[in-house]
Amino acid sequence: MNRRLARLRAAQALYQIDLAESSVEEAIESVLEEGEEPSPFMIELIRGTLEHLQVIDPVISSSLQGWSLERMGLVDRAIVRMSFYEMKYIHDVPLSVTFNEGIELAKAFGGEESGRFINGVLSKAMETIQEDVQK
């Protein structure tokens, strides 16, 4: 499983966990194709995102203008949370790659305005990450 597919599957699993309150294991099993195995990267994205929500959500909330995290679409929220986790905690992937992958996922699977919306949210979140790195 390449990283692009791992991100897609992780976002789908996070969406399912948020929507149906599925367990991590149930969500992973439900998003995999028959015979497909989850990659370590996919598992890290899912578990890491969920484990760091107390750090991730306040940063995302402060990046939203006129929106609340609860008001965001579930697909958009899953993508933003996962992308932020990857940008902040996975250091072998350039920020720009994660940023662009998040936007592409949003365009493909989110609503009509999701690409632009997630671009704005991730841009602000990325500024926070870069400020933290400089400290």
DSSP state letter for 103: H
Per-residue model confidence (pLDDT) at position 60: 92
- Given a cut of 90, is residue 45 above it in pLDDT? yes
pTM for this predicted structure: 0.91
pLDDT of residue 133: 62
In the chain the domains, ranked by start, together with CATH numbers, are 3-134 (1.10.940.10)
3-state secondary structure of 35: coil
Confidence of residue 134 (pLDDT cuts 50, 70, 90): low
DSSP string computed for 60-95: HHHH-SS--GGGS-HHHHHHHHHHHHHHHH-TTS-H
Look at phi and psi of residue 94 and say left if phi exceeds 0, alpha if psi is from -120 to 50, else beta: beta
Q: What is the mean pLDDT of residues 43-62?
A: 95
Rounded CA-CA distance 104/20 in Å is 25
Mean pLDDT, the chain, rounded, equals: 91
pLDDT at residue number 85: 96
Count the helix, strand and coil residues of the chain and give each as a percent rounded to the nearest 5: 75, 0, 25
Q: What are phi and psi of 64, to 5 degrees?
A: -90, 135
Question: pLDDT tens, 71-112?
Answer: 888 999 999 999 999 999 998 988 889 999 999 999 988 888
- Mean pLDDT of all residues in 23-42: 94
Under 8 Å between Cβ of 101 and 7: yes
